[in-house]
Amino acid sequence: MHQKDKTTSISWNSRGVRLERIPRLRGYKIFVQPNSTILLKIPSGWSDTKILETLGSHRDWIEKCLQKAIEIQSQFHPYMLVEGEKYLLLGEFYCLRFEPAEQKKYSIVVKGQTLVVQVPQKFWREGFSSFPHPGLKKYLMQFYNTQAERLLVPLFWKSVRTVGYGPKHLSLRNQKTLWGSCSRHRSAIQINKKLIAAPLFVSEYVMIHELAHLKFSNHGAGFWAEVEKNCPNYKQAEEWLSKNHYLFSFFENNQDLFSSYL
Ligand SMILES: [Zn+2]
Both 162 and 246 in one domain: the answer is: yes
Residue 221 lies in a domain: yes
Both 245 and 161 in one domain: the answer is: yes
Residue 102 CA, ligand 1 centroid: distance in Å: 47
Residue 254 CA, ligand 1 centroid: distance in Å: 29
pLDDT for the residue 254 = 55
Q: Which residues of the chain have pLDDT under 70?
A: 1-6, 254-262
By 3-state DSSP, what share of the chain in percent is helix, strand and coil, each rounded to 5? 45, 25, 35
Residue 172 CA, ligand 1 centroid: distance in Å: 17
C-alpha Rg value of the chain to the nearest Å = 22
Both 138 and 181 in one domain: the answer is: no
Residue 210 CA, ligand 1 centroid: distance in Å: 6
- Strands 38-42 and 29-32 come out as antiparallel
Residue 147 CA, ligand 1 centroid: distance in Å: 25
Residue 203 CA, ligand 1 centroid: distance in Å: 14
**Nearest Cα to 230, choosing from 248, 254, 211?**
211
CB atoms within 10 A of CB 254: 17
Residue 190 CA, ligand 1 centroid: distance in Å: 12
**Nearest Cα to 196, choosing from 247, 242, 161, 236?**
247
Both 157 and 187 in one domain: the answer is: yes
Residue 209 CA, ligand 1 centroid: distance in Å: 6
Q: For the segment 123-167, what is each residue's pLDDT rounded down to a tens digit?
A: 999 999 999 998 899 999 999 999 999 999 999 999 999 999 999
Residue 219 CA, ligand 1 centroid: distance in Å: 6
Residue 69 lies in a domain: yes
Number of domains composing the chain:
3
Residue 70 lies in a domain: yes
- Strands 7-12 and 114-120 come out as unpaired
Residue 257 lies in a domain: no
Both 180 and 133 in one domain: the answer is: no
Residue 138 lies in a domain: yes
Residue 260 lies in a domain: no
Please tell me what DSSP assigns to residue 216: -
Residue 80 lies in a domain: no
Both 37 and 124 in one domain: the answer is: no
Domain boundary among 103, 122, 143: 143
Q: For the segment 74-102, what is each residue's pLDDT rounded down to a tens digit?
A: 777 778 899 999 999 999 999 999 999 99
Both 15 and 37 in one domain: the answer is: yes
Give this prediction's pTM: 0.74
Residue 151 CA, ligand 1 centroid: distance in Å: 22
Tell me which residue range forms the domain holding 201: 151-251
Per-residue CA distances from 186 to 52, 168, 209 (Å): 43, 8, 17
Domain boundary among 75, 96, 122: 75
Residue 256 lies in a domain: no
pLDDT for the residue 249 = 82
SS3 79: coil
Residue 132 CA, ligand 1 centroid: distance in Å: 39
Residue 167 CA, ligand 1 centroid: distance in Å: 15
Instruction: Note the helical H segments in 3-44.
Output: none
